[in-house]
A and B are shown apart, each in its own frame.
Chain A
Amino acid sequence: MSDDALVSADNIYRYYGQYCAVENLRLRLQRGEVLGLLGPNGAGKSSTLQMLSGNLAPSAGQITINGIDLLDAPKRAKAHIGYLPEHPPLYPDFTVDEYLRYCGRLHGIPRARVKPAVDEVKVRCGLSETGRRLIGNLSKGYQQRVGVAQALIHSPLVIILDEPTVGLDPIQIREIRALIRVLGKSHGVILSTHILPEVQAVCDRVQIIHAGRTVFNDSLSGLDKRHGPKGLIVAFRSPPAMEALRALPGVESIEPLASGRVRIVHKGVMAVDAVVKASVESNWGLQELTPERTTLEQIFMDLVHREQDTEAQDNAIARAAS
């Protein structure tokens, strides 16, 4: 239901002149959910997040934040959003404390409650030691943390993070991911990234965007269920005839691959059993047995490349016709 969704966006279009950056996008974010927005560079991720954060008005379509229309009542809607843009919006001449206090005040935290809010968010983002340092003198990783802190300080319902782990070292990346998972329990988080493992590590649901359109939208658990194991890659020391393999129970088709490997498409787990048993009985010498899984990466590559292929074809056809 769109009514209890924290963020709901419908039929969003965004044009830059003639160029259409976002086309008919639909997006839902529920409370307690971490949504990963995935796509190659220039897919329209940042434009989408800018629109959701109220920094960019969509050319058409409607966005509501916690039931409040972002275009009709931007002030009330924005109060529920914490936004970390691609480049953290920092004042290099301020100290971390000053900056965070200012952010807190800007987001309407009463004067008396600003200090505890700043202290809390500093602990959360690992900034306790850096309060008195100038932001301009901090390393990129710490600046990124200040950026995250700025988005959290008023504990908004919706947290929008544009590539939050860019420029962080591996330890910091783990910390930020852990923080996002914690936040995802009580708030709603949307994050964009082009790092696939990041999505698998922190997101509940993934929406893949390519050339401004949603090409995939599913929960990660659904992804595993639907696209569970479906193939086996096997290799033998003395490979049997292909017919012998195909005759095994549960095997649907086989496909020879490079360097003596064979891909077996099967119906159920019983095929695995059968292959192992047959190998032992007939001395095929099983060397390798890998269940094939559809990873996010495969889906991503499939979708993005298929799009590019059809586009290339369309272009070729158009050229041939003209």
Chain B
Amino acid sequence: MILTIAKAELRRMFYSPLAWATLAVVLFILGLLFLILVDNYLTTIQAQLVGIPGAPGVTDIVLAPVMLWAGVIMLTVSPLQTMRAFSEERQQGSLTLLTSAPLSTTELVLGKYLALLVFILVLLGLLALIPLSLAGATQLDWGKIMASLLGLFLLLASFSAAGLFISSQTKTPLIAAMSSFGLLMFLVVLYMSGSAESTASDLFIYLSHFGHLLPFLQGLFDSSDLIYYLLFSAVFLILTIRRLDNERLQR
């Protein structure tokens, strides 16, 4: 049943131009960024690094920033994907179809979440083409690339779970998008404040989701980062389920 919902959700996503526009815009921006970084690397950085033992390579200097930027751009884009999940359905009245079908709320939420995860995978699949384009020209650190893709996947999955929760709160898609964006931005600000010198705080850095992405980008796989993302997503999914159940019971 979860699969049925996820399939229909994906269909709904890709029937609307939004998903295509999202993919196109994100990849276009990242492509340009990649071009600038490669150019910069070839003309200035490469020359400076010659002869230094253990110097960072292309993977660190060109690809890691691209991955980081992918996360930053998705910060603004993923709320637009998640707003459709419940807000838009509620606005057009189609949520009733799902709530009157013989489904549990858990199946409903997981179905929608699964569809969002598949969308993320599609995006990451296309994103992986960027490092692949360098594969013929130079030697790449594939371990690092895989780690950063995994980190990015976890980051985006946590964005989606948070967005799904916000989307379940309101009937107006724009408010859902705006609030999810606010929540995600808040976590970024938390990181910035935690890493600023005057207000340095390990707790803030721990709470912020970007803090957990950076180790992945350096090729570091720390299970506590993995657990952070899994917990983050699980908490918001459970909150969403609770919220939808409550809607039936009270108001």
User: Which chain A residues have a beta carbon within 8 Å of chain B's beta carbons?
Assistant: 16, 53-57, 74-76, 78-79, 81, 83, 85, 87-94, 98, 102-103, 105-108, 150
Nearest residue (CB) in A for B97 is A89
Task: Decide if B97 touches A150 in the complex (CB within 8 Å).
Answer: yes
Given the known interface contacts A78-B102, A91-B12, the answer about A55 and B96 at a Cβ–Cβ threshold of 8 Å is yes
Listed A/B pairs (28) with beta-carbon separation below 8 Å:
A53-B100, A54-B248, A75-B102, A75-B103, A75-B104, A76-B102, A78-B102, A88-B93, A89-B93, A90-B92, A90-B93, A91-B12, A91-B94, A93-B15, A94-B11, A102-B4, A102-B8, A103-B97, A103-B101, A105-B4, A106-B1, A106-B5, A106-B97, A106-B101, A107-B101, A107-B102, A108-B1, A150-B97
Cβ-defined partner of A106 (8 Å) among B4, B93, B104, B251: B4
- Within 8 Å CB of A79, what residues of B? 102
CB neighbors of A among B74-118 (8 A): 92-104
Interface centre among A91, A106, A107 (most CB of B within 10 A): A106
Given the known interface contacts A87-B93, A89-B93, the answer about A55 and B100 at a Cβ–Cβ threshold of 8 Å is yes
- Min CB distance, B153 to chain A, in Å? 27
Task: Decide if A56 touches B248 in the complex (CB within 8 Å).
Answer: yes
- Within 8 Å CB of B249, what residues of A? 57
- Chain B contact residues, majority secondary structure: helix
- Min CB distance, A253 to chain B, in Å? 53
Extra A-B contacts (18), CB below 8 Å, given A91-B94, A103-B101, A150-B97: A54-B99, A55-B96, A74-B102, A75-B103, A76-B102, A78-B101, A83-B96, A85-B93, A87-B93, A87-B96, A89-B94, A89-B96, A92-B92, A94-B11, A94-B12, A103-B97, A106-B103, A107-B102
B16 at the interface (CB under 8 A from A): yes
Cα–Cα, bound, A43→B92 (Å): 24
- Within 8 Å CB of B97, what residues of A? 89, 103, 106, 150
Q: How many residues of B contact A (CB 8 A)?
A: 24
- Min CB distance, A107 to chain B, in Å? 6
Task: Decide if B100 touches A16 in the complex (CB within 8 Å).
Answer: no
Cα–Cα, bound, A89→B92 (Å): 7
CB neighbors of A among B202-251 (8 A): 248-249, 251
Nearest residue (CB) in A for B93 is A87
- Min CB distance, B110 to chain A, in Å? 14
Cα–Cα, bound, A148→B103 (Å): 20
Nearest residue (CB) in B for A103 is B97
- Within 8 Å CB of A93, what residues of B? 12, 15-16
Cα–Cα, bound, A74→B248 (Å): 12
- Within 8 Å CB of A108, what residues of B? 1, 102
- Within 8 Å CB of A83, what residues of B? 96, 100
Task: Decide if A81 touches B12 in the complex (CB within 8 Å).
Answer: no
Task: Decide if B251 touches A16 in the complex (CB within 8 Å).
Answer: yes
- Within 8 Å CB of B4, what residues of A? 102, 105-106
- Within 8 Å CB of A57, what residues of B? 248-249
- Within 8 Å CB of A94, what residues of B? 11-12, 15
- Within 8 Å CB of A74, what residues of B? 102, 104
Cα–Cα, bound, A160→B126 (Å): 46
- Min CB distance, A305 to chain B, in Å? 31
Cα–Cα, bound, A190→B104 (Å): 24
